[in-house]
Every structure is written in structure tokens, then in C-alpha cells.
Amino acid sequence: MAETLSIPGGQAKVRNSLGVFLLAIVTLYVYYFVWYYKINRELRDFGRAHDDPKLRVEPAGALAAVTGGALLIIPPFISMWRTFTRIRRAEEIAGLEDRLSHAVGFPLFLLAAIFLPVEMPYVQSHLNRLWREVAAEDEKRRLGMRGEATAT
């Protein structure tokens, strides 16, 4: 079961990295599309809290690009590239040094387009680390460990 964390802008889930991969396989990729929508929604919410234009995304649009957009061939690749960019930007905002690499993630996505969604565990592990760090920093801020405490 996924752990839900409060982050600036909303909530994010820490999902089992291997679990998301297996669920995508078992559900014949239906869960892949649910997962893709949800991670883009979490990134959008986080971006709104930080007023970062690089994290602006319409999750339904990202989903449309990897589903119906596949008929045009190029949109899924652009959408995934941009999703990797958003994750990397969110990691920068959170101060994480070991960030998602397009050089690793994108070839995994290309492989996934032919075989299995092997990019899912890689992406989810980065998101899990990101959301845990963001939630921990937010909690420290609320407790006054990062300056003034905020009212709860």
C-alpha cells in the first residue's frame, strides 16, 4: 500500500517502485496510465506551491499525449521527456543532488515503448526520495526548525 505524504501544494504518494511495474504488467498497462496521470498531478501541485513555471503541466494533457497521442508517434516521447524534466526540476527545488537523469530515463522509456515499462521503477524511486525529502523539510519548517514555525 502506498504511503501518502503531505507536501507543499497537496499530497503525494510514496509507491513501491517494483509494485508500480508489476501492477502495470498485471493490468495490461492500464495502471501505467493511471500512474502517469497521478505523478504528473503530484508534480503540478508541487509546482503550484513553489510558483515554478517549469512544473506547470495539465495531467490530463500529459496522459492524452501518451495514449491517443501515440497515434501521431511523437507526443508520447515529448510528454515523457517533459515529465523527466519536471521531476528533475522538483528535485532541484528540494535540494536533492542525485537527480533523475534523462540519459538513463529516456532510453528506459524507449525500451518500454517496445517491451515492458522498465522506466517506472527508476522514475518512482526518484519520486519516492523526492516526496520523502519534501515532506520532511515541510515538517521541520512547521516545527520551527527552519526559521519561524507556521501556524497549524
Report whether pLDDT(150) > 90: no
pLDDT average, residue stretch 115-125: 91
Q: Which residues contact 60 (CB under 8 A, 6 or more apart)?
A: 37
Report whether pLDDT(22) > 70: yes
Cell numbers that stand for 46 in this block: 508541487
pLDDT average, residue stretch 54-59: 94
Domain ranges across the chain: 3-142
> pLDDT per residue over 81-93, tens digit each?
999 999 999 999 9
CA atoms of 40 and 49, how far apart (whole Å): 14
- What 76-84 contacts at long range (C-beta under 8 Å, 24+ apart), as own/partner pairs, is 76/113, 77/109, 77/110, 80/105, 80/106, 80/109, 80/119, 81/106, 82/57, 83/36, 83/39, 83/40, 83/43, 83/57, 83/123, 84/123
Q: What is the mean pLDDT of the chain?
A: 91
pLDDT recorded at residue 12: 96
Q: Which of 37, 27, 92 is nearest to 61 (CA)?
A: 37
CA atoms of 128 and 122, how far apart (whole Å): 10
